[in-house]
Amino acid sequence: MDVLTFGETMAALRARGPLLLGGSLDLSVAGAESNVAIGLARLGHRVRWAGLTGADEFGRLVTRTLRAEGVDVSCAGGTDAGPTGLVVFEPRLADLTRVTYYRSGSAGSRITAAHLAPALAAGARIVHVTGITAALGEQPRRAVESAVRAAAAAGSLVCLDVNHRARLWSRAQAGRTLRPLVRDVDVLVASDDELALAAPESAGTERARVDALLAAGVREVVVKRGAAGADVFTADGSTSLPAERVPVRDTVGAGDAFVAGYLSALLDGEPPEGRLRRAVCTGAFAVASYGDWEGLPARHELPLLRAEPGSALR
């Protein structure tokens, strides 16, 4: 496999307006790690997702959707100890969306290192983890820690997306868990306000945090800045790129799309600028489309951003 990832993928309900007014809900699936997996699969990479779902119809929807998108789910598991989690998206103001999770006691929160052992033993060039999975409880936290250690020992490149969720854990809790992982991380991805959760507490500025992470052994520190673009820092210097300018329809999932683009270009051997260029491109596809992953591009569609606005492909 090119990439192995794991985490909680939930059934996703998307409202067309305020929930209190009622109306229809569109059913799909969503989860940070599976969003990345789908993005990479559409770009032509071999990706495996090794999460845990409930023994219910929502769980079958998750595995069916990922399989249909070309993601390997041969190491995914099911359990009747908890249901598949649920996430509800409620549009409120233009591109502002309210997200509500129903994941307490879910199947995904029961994942353990033992569940991941077969997928890790099979190997992958990159193992991608996020702070979201570590925030789901003690067992998932230990699973992430074990997976990062095992991947580093096996020679896989380890990518950590901080992906802080304030409703799951505090910044202090996140820092205590994520900072010890850094010694085994090769690529660290964080938004500019998340960088402090992985860097030493003593580092008081962004530059100091980046320098400390590089000194700790991280090869690439990737800082997402939303509409302002992104930067990648390495021991050889830094590279910056602005974001692509597109009509904003839905920002949910944009960070995952960015990661998928970055890892895709990394797998292709692109230099830092090429990695950022593909990352901001896939991120733009995400924000210009509705849904977490539905609008992510296939490789042959990447040049579509160069088309004239309002044009039709005939």
| Active-site amino acid positions | 256
Q: How far apart are CA 124 and CA 47, in angstroms?
A: 9
DSSP-assigned letters across all residues of the chain: --EEE----EEEEEESS-GGG---EEEEEE-HHHHHHHHHHHTT--EEE--EEESSHHHHHHHHHHHHTT-B-TT-EEESSSPPPEEEEEEEETTEEEEEEE-TT-GGGG--HHHHHHHHHH--SEEEEEHHHHTT-HHHHHHHHHHHHHHHHHT-EEEEE----TTT--HHHHHHHHGGGGGG-SEEEEETTTGGGTS-TT--SHHHHHHHHHHTT-SEEEEE-GGG-EEEEETTEEEEEPPP----S--TTHHHHHHHHHHHHHHTT--HHHHHHHHHHHHHHHHTSSSSSTTPPPGGGGGGGGSPTT----
Q: Which two tokens stand for residue 178?
A: 């994520």
Q: Are 36 and 43 in contact (CB under 8 A)?
A: no
Q: Which two tokens stand for residue 66?
A: 């990922």
- For the chain, give the number of residues: 314
Largest CA distance in the chain: 57
Distance of CA 183 to the CA centre of its chain: 20
